[in-house]
Amino acid sequence: MTDPVRIVYVIGTRPNFVKTAPVIAAMRERHPDGHHVIVHTGQHYDRAMSEIFFEELGVPTPDHMLEVGSGTHAVQTARTMERLEPVILAEQPDLLVVPGDVNSTLAAVLVASKLQLPIAHVESGLRSFDMTMPEEVNRIVADRFSKYLFMHSEEAAENLRAEGIPDERMHMVGNTMIDTLVALRDRIEAADSPGKLEVTPGGYALVTLHRPALVDGPLLGETVAGLAALSEAMPVVFPVHPRTRKMMEAAGGGAEAPNLLLSEPLGYVDFLSLVAGAGAVLTDSGGIQEETTYLGVPCFTLRANTERPVTIDLGTNELLGLDPSAIASIPERLAARPASPLEPPPLWDGRAAERIAEVLLPAYADPERAITAST
Ligand code: UD1
């Protein structure tokens, strides 16, 4: 009789809770006797950025809270590494599971690889080819050192091959962020966030902005002015990320316009209800490009590039460039869009986490249970 498997999941930011919740659930189901240890780095810590997601997504309370908080990239990464290493040494896991491309991801991968702990990377192979994006560095390191690379689109495999990563490490499983959307679809439909804000479904624009390239410099003021102008054509709903809020306050506050509705960050269900009802979404987020593609909602991405080209080729996404003046063209671009319905990309079907668990099962199942399961 072997010991039950021990798996550590490292999460720390809002999008990563969404990507990991279904993986933890699928792994717990297949390894009910295993030790599933959840480590929250604390990179995101406001209730609206963290706790509310654990509640809504049904993620168990973390076993370890590292409380690293905010800081420069080096400080945030180093603090996470320092606090994670003793946890890994104490827990002695067989595997570390980590999603995405944030600083918590980078830190976890560096700690685990130095301890020669196998790593499973969820959302592997995305590349913007823009090394000025902190996430691009984090993705490359995560993929280079992970044993199991779980991908959600074909271009991910091409990107990994181009970096010399062998096919044996790659697994096309689909999109775990879409798993969460599918699992909570009924609650999202019932939430009626547009009704609560008194905006008409299909008639408003929803905005999210948080990337340093856009919000940490002079482009933010131009962007907010562009949103105020857009709100004369259609109401604009803008839940503001804390980073963006801080920058707006430093620049002297936001633009005042009667139909520009600023709010605090929203919980998952309320936010997705707003996405599903939007006539258009304007964003610089990665995950929202995917969620709009799945839901068939027109998405305009205020960036020069995307690491998610599948959302342009097969989805609803259009790149506006890193150019706030392009916001003015949204009504015209919307009118020019074909109305034909789209199919979501292959394997964006709500079952990606199950596939991840199936890949990991032979390596980590209790041999006795694996025999029982196959007979
Ligand atoms: C991080 C990720 C980004 C991801 C985003 C999702 C990195 C390099 N960036 O960006 O890839 O798309 O999360 O939201 O890891 N803050 C709060 N409360 C919080 C969290 C942050 O007030 O709960 C404020 C702080 O002022 C902080 C700033 O937001 O300095 C930025 O937070 P940080 O975690 O450094 O990066 P994000 O911009 O959130």
Which burial class, exposed, middle or buried, applies to 305 when counting CB atoms under 10 A from its CB (0-12, 13-18, 19+)? middle
| Cα–ligand 1 centroid distance for 218 (angstroms) | 19
Q: Looking at ligand 1, which atom is closest to the CA of residue 138?
A: 8
Q: Which atom in ligand 1 lies closest to the alpha carbon of residue 101?
A: 11
**Is the distance from the beta carbon of residue 303 to the nearest atom of ligand 1 less than 6 Å?**
no
Is ligand 1 within 6 A of the CB of residue 152?
no
CB 14 less than 6 A from any atom of ligand 1: yes
pLDDT of residue 374: 36
pLDDT value of residue 375? 31
Give residue 89 CA to ligand 1 midpoint distance, Å: 27
Strand partners, 38: 9
Q: Report pLDDT for 339.
A: 76
> Which residue's CA is the nearest one to ligand 1's atom 35?
70
- Which residue numbers in the chain have pLDDT < 50? 369-375
What's the pLDDT at 3?
Answer: 79
Identity of residue 6: R
Name the token pair of 77: 């990464």
Task: List the residue whose alpha carbon is closest to atom 34 of ligand 1.
Answer: 43
* Residues in CB range of 54: below 8 A, 6 or more apart: 17, 61, 62
* Angle between the N-to-C axes of helices 176-183 and 14-30, in degrees from 0 to 180, rounded to the nearest 10: 80
Rounded Cα gap, residues 37 and 1, in angstroms: 22
Separation between Cα atoms, residue 222 and residue 42, nearest integer Å: 32
Q: Evaluate whether 42 touches 20 at the Cβ level (below 8 Å).
A: no
In the set 44, 152, 171, 210, the catalytic residue is 210
CA 346 to CA 342: how far, in whole Å?
12
Instruction: Single out the residue of 91, 155, 77, 194 nearest to residue 315, CA to CA.
Output: 155
Q: Is the CB–ligand 1 distance for residue 70 below 6 Å? A: yes
End-to-end CA distance of the chain: 18
The pLDDT of residue 366 = 60
The residue whose CB lies within 8 Å of the most ligand 1 atoms, and thus the one to mutate among 50, 65, 102, is 102
Q: Which of 70, 81, 244, 284 to mutate to test the pocket of ligand 1 (most atoms within 8 A of CB)?
A: 70
Name the closest-CA residue to atom 14, ligand 1.
14
Amino acid at site 175: N
Whether residue 210 lies in the annotated active site: yes
For the entire predicted model, the pTM comes to 0.95
The CB of 43 under 6 Å from ligand 1? The reply is: yes
Q: Using CA positions, which residue lies closest to atom 27 of ligand 1?
A: 70
Atom of ligand 1 nearest to the CA of 102: 15
